[in-house]
Structure 1
């Protein structure tokens, strides 16, 4: 388990070292630190999650669907209907939403699986706690966003022109263009990736502090008071694990919802 393995890095000797960046580095292949490349545990988990999710939906839809659904069909339909209706149709609108449902469903299920990996025994690490994964997902969303925006606005020039709201004084238009350009091309993608990454990294560090801190107090506390604090730390970590599960679902939902909002903005005639 990653928490137990991490204890060797965090609790050394008679002093407690707080969890940090080293607890997010899980090299499995070529982890010698030469700085060239490495295959890490998060990369393996992310790849396995993509294969499992793909297999799950293909296996359910590849055969005749039953009127009374099985458990697997019920789960697949529940996830699809949630993304299709609650996120896609309600946010993008009934006219344009259906073509974006595959992207939204992929984002939601992939992020949710890799978020929940943070509390799955023997994995216990959220892949989305490594910044590379949120960045890649954000790049995919924003390529889609800008392609849709260029097409819906009638060309790249008109798309750039739509960044300036009509009716502004001439002296204000350059300022507004710069602000809108930074918003659509820098701030939105940056915050979309950092929000997911930051919440998953912070949640994992929080659980590490309580679990490894509790272990250290139990083993090295030296008196009944500190050892009792260690027990309380373990108990609180269990409570926070359930809270983290809620956060993991919310972050998958928020990322997918914001992706839908941005796509809806791009598909509309006006910003």
Structure 2
């Protein structure tokens, strides 16, 4: 989180270049490894390990760890899937649970020491998850209604005079086929980029004021450090909120795909 001084000294503010780290293995190949890919692998491994341990030690009377895992799973099942999808919830629950915890874990890496960057702050992972949702809501909608029926349900809203379809249908087409997946990915990525830049700015300024600034300016380190700690706590809140929003919208889109009218 420290903005290094560089050869010329002085404070160097964070830039977008931080989200494109140099490769350290397999450079120039589809298997290129860089810092963000490594962070994603670490987050995935930790998440899988936590749930494997909780599942293997499951008991009729849950212990503390099992109780936390069950509460987290129930949050997705009840507060997202059931409240949004009703009788369709059970069908899509595994997908929604996977999305929620994957996004949450990869968002939280932004405040984990030594990792220090949200692995969803590079758009590749959000795009993969958004594409999954996109393919699924198209597939389940077409499977239930057929291609013609699905297009009719989504592009020709009932109750409108036919003459208005000339205006409404192109807008609905953009919403279904472009805006939904695009906004899912962009919303998540933009929030994680902004959070990382703010944290780097605060802690980089603290480093500068404390070790490089002279005189009374050193006192400003306390202010920037306090801001950094406050924004770290706020970033934890944002990480959870973005995981919830992404999963909730995924549930809404899936439910709209299989409902008769919306």
16, 20, 41: which is aligned to 1:21?
Answer: 16
Structure 2 residue runs of 5 or longer lacking an equivalent are none
Q: Deviations over 1:165-208 (max 9, x none)?
A: 12323332132111001001111111111111000110000011
In 2, distance between residues paired with 1:18 and 1:87?
39
130, 133, 157: which is aligned to 1:141?
Answer: 133
Alignment-derived partner of residue 131 in structure 1? 123
In 2, distance between residues paired with 1:255 and 1:201?
16
Q: Check if 1:52 corresponds to 2:43.
A: no
Q: CA deviation at 1:149?
A: 1.4
Is the 1:11–1:216 Cα contact (8 Å) retained in structure 2? Answer: no
In 1, distance between residues paired with 2:47 and 2:93?
15
Q: Deviations over 1:105-125 (max 9, x none)?
A: 111111111111111111111
Distance 1:232 1:35, change over 3 A: farther
Q: Check if 1:115 corresponds to 2:110.
A: no
Q: TM-score, normalised by structure 2?
A: 0.92
Tell me the secondary structure at the aligned position of residue 120 of structure 2.
helix
In 2, distance between residues paired with 1:29 and 1:117?
20
Q: CA deviation at 1:233?
A: 0.5
Distance 1:79 1:23, change over 3 A: same
Q: Deviations over 1:229-254 (max 9, x none)?
A: 12210121111111111111111111
Q: Check if 1:159 corresponds to 2:154.
A: no
Q: Check if 1:216 corresponds to 2:208.
A: yes
Q: Check if 1:83 corresponds to 2:76.
A: yes
Alignment-derived partner of residue 239 in structure 1? 230
In 2, distance between residues paired with 1:149 and 1:244?
36
Alignment-derived partner of residue 67 in structure 2? 74
After TM superposition, where is structure 1 displaced by more than 4 Å over at least 4 residues in a row? 34-37
In 2, distance between residues paired with 1:191 and 1:71?
38
In 2, distance between residues paired with 1:202 and 1:45?
18
Structure 1 residue runs of 5 or longer lacking an equivalent are none
Q: Check if 1:106 corresponds to 2:101.
A: no
202, 219, 223: which is aligned to 1:228?
Answer: 219
Alignment-derived partner of residue 180 in structure 2? 188
Count residues in correspondence. Answer: 261
Q: TM-score, normalised by structure 1?
A: 0.89
Alignment-derived partner of residue 61 in structure 1? 55
Please, what is the CA RMSD of the aligned residues?
2.0
